[in-house]
Amino acid sequence: MNYPDRTREIIERIRELSKPMEPQPTGTSAKLSKPDGIKAVLFDVYGTLLISGSGDLSIARQTNTGTAIRDAFQTIGQTIDTDIGSSALSELFFTTIEKSRSHLSANGIDYPDIDIRNIWLQIWEKLYSDGIVSVEPQIEAIPLLSNEYECRVNPTWPMPHVMDILEVMRESGLVTGIVSNAQFFTPLLFEAHLHSSLSDLGFDKRICFFSYEQKVAKPSPMFFEKCMNTLYQLYSIRPEEALYVGNDMLNDIWPSQKLGFRTCLFAGDKRSLRWREENPFMKDVESDLIATDLIQLKEALQI
């Protein structure tokens, strides 16, 4: 499905709906050994470069999902019949996601991801067919609807010193990229919050991998393998010459380390820090570095 480009409207709505947030202390101490030979730094987005109000993308169940769905439809001029309750709306949302992911899993993808716009189209079709909304789905409104919901359940704000460290990396000549569970609106968060595109911030867009585009999500090593291969093809950079920075031991550290990347656990916000100690994959997994503030990467990388 080709959806219309509503970039400017979405960026403005992100700005209107966003409020400043501060990271919550984690009580974790930094570990800033100096890895040699690093030529590239790759980042996660939610909980690493950006504060995430829910700690991650809003695929996890939220207590305010039903209300957010109703409000999102209202914002684009569609009223949901009050006969359907918030819990039923929430159930419809997550059931639709689970069915779409199950279909991808059946095709051999270990950790499948979906394009959330397709989910919203299916939800709108279902609500219309059941007489819950009176207007049939409008393709041009789907991107706006998706963003309206996301801004309500997972507000974002720049992590402290994100602009500073990206400027330092850009000036140092380090290759910078992104490997993140994400949706179509994720790159627009940088333009909304930092008033800069990914390219302007120094990211090589050829090394920016977003799960909704790849149809595979973290913690699949397959996701990181795509980035690994591209790094080598473009720059002859091997995994041990790249540092991956993320806030989740399972989603970020385990799969990237498995492929030979150097790793940095970002422990800068209690909302999103995930140690995953109960997970069997975490046995003997230890991040090379731990940073509690992004600017600490300047010291760790000696740049």
At position 53, the amino acid (one-letter code) is G
List pLDDT tens digits, range 177-203. 999 999 999 999 999 999 999 999 999
pLDDT digits 0-9 by tens, 107-128: 778 899 999 999 999 999 999 9
Alpha helices in the chain (DSSP H): 7-17, 65-75, 86-106, 116-129, 142-153, 162-172, 186-194, 211-214, 221-235, 254-258, 296-301
* pLDDT given at position 207: 98
pLDDT at position 58:
52
Q: Report CA dihedral (224, 108, 181, 75) to the nearest 10 degrees.
A: 160
Q: What is the pLDDT of residue 281?
A: 86
The residue among 291 and 64 whose pLDDT is bigger is 291
Q: Which residue has the higher pLDDT, 83 or 171?
A: 171
Q: Are 300 and 289 in contact (CB under 8 A)?
A: yes
Report the pLDDT value the prediction gives residue 54, as an integer from 0 to 100. Answer: 85
Buried b / exposed e across 267-287, counting CB within 10 Å, b at 16+?
bbbebbbbebeeeeeeeeeeb
Higher pLDDT, 146 or 55: 146
More confident residue, 103 or 232: 232
Domain boundaries, the chain: 9-56+155-301, 65-153
Percent of the chain with pLDDT strictly greater than 90:
86
Instruction: State yes or no: pLDDT of 164 exceeds 70.
Output: yes
The answer to whether residue 249 scores a pLDDT higher than 70 is yes
Is the pLDDT at 228 greater than 80? The verdict is yes
Read off the pLDDT of each residue in 15-35 and give the average, rounded to a whole number: 96
Over residues 280-295, mean pLDDT:
94
- In this predicted structure, what is the pLDDT of residue 115? 97
- Give the CATH fold of the 9-56+155-301 domain: Rossmann fold (3.40.50)
pLDDT at 217 over 70: yes
| Lowest-pLDDT range of 82-86, 94-98, 241-245 | 82-86
Fold of 65-153: DNA polymerase; domain 1 (1.10.150)
This prediction has a pTM of 0.95
Please tell me the distance from the alpha carbon of residue 259 to that of residue 243, in angstroms, as a whole number: 12
Q: Is there a contact between 217 and 211 (Cβ–Cβ < 8 Å)? A: yes
Question: How many other CB atoms sit within 10 Å of the CB of residue 99?
Answer: 12
Mean pLDDT (whole number) for 54-77: 80
Longest Cα pair distance anywhere in the chain, in angstroms?
Answer: 62
pLDDT of the residue at 63: 59
pLDDT band for position 104 (50/70/90)? confident
